[in-house]
Amino acid sequence: MNRKQQTLLITIGANGLLIVLRFILAFVSGSIALKANAWHSLADVVVLGIVYVGLVIAAQKDERFKGLIARAENIVAIIVACFIFYMGLDLFFESISGEAVELGYVVWAALGSFFGVCITYFMGRYLLYVG
């Protein structure tokens, strides 16, 4: 396993931790913003997983996969864009549904969000360091 593959696996694990953290915080606090952020992190994990598979296939140095990888990249981009658009619409309609939700456990949600921001920051720095 090369350095880039190892970095992607670490990033996927960190994003998995962020997804769990953000869904728990969204459930406990009732925050739609945290819920949206959790869904966005899930989309990131899907993309990172596909990039990882692409790196593994590219390491094979097989010429017959070149066209397949290019087509798969376009298809995956469209699927992820549709997923993010659908989740945005779903969360938009949830926010204008008229049901007033009072946020609970705001201090814990803020602390958990700050912890998530720290994880995201260091994960981004790590990805830039590795390239």
Task: Return the pLDDT at 94.
Answer: 87
Give the residue among 42, 41, 40, 56 at the shortest CA–CA distance from 8: 56
Which residue, chain included where needed, has tokens 């959790």? 38
Contact 71, 31 (CB under 8 A): no
Distance CA 96, CA 55 (A): 42
Question: Which ranges in the chain belong to alpha helices (H)?
Answer: 3-29, 32-59, 66-95, 106-130
Task: Return the pLDDT at 110.
Answer: 94
Is pTM beyond 0.95? Reply is no
Task: Return the pLDDT at 42.
Answer: 93
Parts of the chain with a pLDDT under 70: 65-66
Task: Return the pLDDT at 56.
Answer: 83
